[in-house]
Amino acid sequence: DIQMTQSPSSLSASVGDRVTITCRASQTIGRYLNWYQQRPGTSPNLLIYSASSLQSGVPSRFSASGSGTEFTLTINSLQPEDFATYYCQQSNTYPYTFGPGTKVEIK
């Protein structure tokens, strides 16, 4: 299985801050990397697909980049509704696998 790691595992930030989360794959996955946001008690929500494409309806303050084994998700000007856990997911190879998540908390 392809192992996905994320850093940091959690972070504290303030409204208006810029936040960057890193995701790494144990082997190259091209651009088959997706990002999801999960607020407590809710289902995950797709933010980014194919490494850098913004899902319809997702605010433009979310952006992402990367290819191969290293990827980043950036949130510009953090908003109150952005405090959540973020997961990366590889879709290069079955079984699809997720990173352990990055929890973004209010400072």
Partner 1 sequence: QVQLVQSGAEVKRPGTSEKLSCKASGYIFSGYYMHWLRQAPGQGLEWIGSVNPNTGDTSISHHFHDRVTLTWDTPIRTAYMELERLTSDDSAIYYCARGYFRWFDFWGPGTLVTVSS
Q: Which stretch binds partner 1 (CB under 8 A): 12-20, 28-36, 62-70, 73-81?
A: 28-36
Least Cβ distance, residue 59 to partner 1 (angstroms): 17
CB 21 within 8 A of CB 65: no
Binding-site member from 20, 45, 65, 76 for partner 1 (CB under 8 A):
45
Residues in CB range of 18: below 8 A, 6 or more apart: 74, 75, 76, 77, 78
Which tokens belong to 81? 């509704």
CA angle 32, 43, 74 (to 5 degrees): 50
* Site for partner 1 contains 101 (CB under 8 A): yes
* Site for partner 1 contains 63 (CB under 8 A): no
Binding site for partner 1 (CB under 8 A): 32, 34, 36, 43-46, 49-50, 55, 87, 89, 91, 94-101
